[in-house]
Structure 1
Amino acid sequence: MSALTMFSLSGKKAIVTGGSQGLGYEMCKALAGAGAQVAFIYVDSPQADDIATEISKEFHVMCKAYEADVSVAEKVHSVMSKIYADFGDIDILIANAGIHEAGPSETFDLDLWKHIFDVNVHGAFYCAQFVGERMLKKERGSIIFISSVAGHVGVRPQEVASYSASKGAVTSMTKALATEWATRGVRVNSINPGYMTTVPFGDNPQTRFWKLRTPMGRLGKPDELNGAAIYLASDASSYVTGAQFFVDGGYSCS
């Protein structure tokens, strides 16, 4: 097998949560561009079906959008059942859906804290559990969690204990599931992004501080997770499990 062939996703089927915008949208396009059929889950996007049609036409693969709140286990089971009925067995799961809120820990709203964990941690596990059970029966599959550099090191100047704690849990869950399923054909890894320009931050003291703190001196572009996602989804990473891929411009090194 040639080196490039190892990265092909032709004939594979993928699910991406939070796939209608930002990093998830870019990874949907990357998977489709590598040959995969793609189902993406969204929670609130009037353009989701149009996005799926656009990806299908551009890359000549099947792509469909499915609405569901991943923080509710029953809704995850329902939407996953629909996807399996439409696509058949799934080879790749990218658990990308997540939310982020900042605020001082001493006054942080506890209901909001719980909601962040419901989406970022519990939602990721609900998806991995449903897909993982079926991958284990086939003895093949790749699960990729989108964690964060904030789950590994303290970040400044924003106050994000809730988000950081949730992403730390995702990183630990990655290691635990990878260890549990390592001999059963299912690989589990995480991508841990640094500061990415998923929204127009503008030039302000906070973004200037982020750039100064990042050795490469800039924020990441939304499509700069794609290489890691394709690598971890493909046969090129067949001996990689339990890894955390930092795509952060060196932020975690300094």
Structure 2
Amino acid sequence: MSERRVSGSSHTHTNINQIMSRFSLQGRTALVTGGARGCGLAFARGLAEAGADVVIFDVIEPQPEFLAIEKEYSVRTAFYKVDVSSPDSLKTGFAQFQKDFDNKLDICVPCAGINRHQSFLDFTYEDHRDLLSINVLGLYFTAQHAAKQMIANGTRHGSIVLVASMASHVAVRTQLCSAYCGSKGAVRAMCPAIAKELTEYGIRVNSISPGYVRTEMTAAFSHLVEGWKSETINGRIAEPEDIMGACVFLASDASAYMTGQDVLVDGGVCRVS
């Protein structure tokens, strides 16, 4: 009877460990705005599962799922009620965060955002101003505060992951959202410019462009879901967990050579539009 030999198994296992270690966020601290629910909550969970302590800023109380993260993953968590559209609220939130976490910050994911199903011809100045104050100004100054804190604490693993949208790549067929498209286009456009300025401090800046995702915000557009499904290659819309991996990748050393880039996670919509 011939003897069967399996060679290289221990070496392969070692390689896998080396690869997976690059995704580890052990010992790092992450901030997620809009983290009380939806994609923001999924990002917070993914970062915690990878080992990071996680802080969220939001105007609403976090869901019980966030409160369970600390015990489930043995990480430290905190919630601060912060309105990112308010400079004073943002400044106060960061000041408290810096005090409670000894000025430590390695990862920032500005995810807070709003959308409206409203036609271009009906959009008012006030509607547009409110949307931009959160989606563009709130995101921009969250990233700025985070960068200053990272520079102050001399982090060697600084990563800012801006949340853009598929709507910055294509005209959305089934939804009236010209102002939202413009706001997310601004996010995607600012990403490489900010990345260029922060590279001297060792801070990487990338963005994620999610497609149609089933969240509390998109639940208001439930009548559009079947149309959304028909636009994707795989015939379904995403769950927040489907976007989570891209965030962890961009936050971790697995993407150490990436900066100024946008990662499109849209189920193929932009390839069939």
With structure 1 as the length reference, what TM-score do the two structures score? 0.94
- The alignment yields a C-alpha RMSD, in angstroms, of 1.9
Confirm or deny that 1:3 pairs with 2:19: yes
Tell me the equivalent position of 2:56. Answer: 40
Corresponding residue to 1:170 among 187, 195, 204: 187
Tell me the equivalent position of 1:181. Answer: 198
Confirm or deny that 1:103 pairs with 2:121: no
CA distance in 1 between partners of 2:222 and 2:32 (Å): 32
Count of aligned residue pairs for this structure pair = 252
Residues 50-199 of structure 1 mapped to structure 2, 5 A cutoff: 50-88=64-102, 89-137=104-152, 138=154, 140=156, 141-199=158-216
CA distance in 2 between partners of 1:204 and 1:55 (Å): 29
* Shift, 1:139, TM fit: 5.5
CA distance in 2 between partners of 1:207 and 1:62 (Å): 36
Confirm or deny that 1:226 pairs with 2:240: no
CA distance in 1 between partners of 2:53 and 2:60 (Å): 22
Alignment check: 8 A CA contact 2:36 2:63 kept: no
CA 1:87/1:50 → structure 2, altered by over 3 Å: closer, same or farther?
Answer: farther
CA 1:38/1:201 → structure 2, altered by over 3 Å: closer, same or farther?
Answer: closer
Instruction: Name the SS of the counterpart of 1:198 in structure 2.
Output: coil
Instruction: Name the SS of the counterpart of 1:64 in structure 2.
Output: strand
Tell me the equivalent position of 1:216. Answer: 234
* Shift, 1:208, TM fit: 2.0
* Shift, 1:103, TM fit: 0.9
Instruction: Name the SS of the counterpart of 2:55 in structure 1.
Output: strand
| Structure 1 residue identity aligned to 2:166 | V
* Shift, 1:41, TM fit: 0.7
Unaligned runs of 5+ in 1: none
CA distance in 2 between partners of 1:204 and 1:136 (Å): 43
Alignment check: 8 A CA contact 1:195 1:220 kept: yes
* Shift, 1:183, TM fit: 3.2
Runs of 4+ in 1 over 4 A off after TM superposition: 49-52, 200-205
With structure 2 as the length reference, what TM-score do the two structures score? 0.87
**In terms of mean alpha carbon deviation, does 172-181 or 199-208 score higher?**
199-208
Instruction: Name the SS of the counterpart of 2:121 in structure 1.
Output: helix
**Which one has the largest radius of gyration?**
2
**In terms of mean alpha carbon deviation, does 33-42 or 172-181 score higher?**
172-181
| Structure 2 residue identity aligned to 1:11 | G
Instruction: Name the SS of the counterpart of 1:107 in structure 2.
Output: coil
Alignment check: 8 A CA contact 1:52 1:65 kept: no
CA distance in 2 between partners of 1:165 and 1:195 (Å): 17
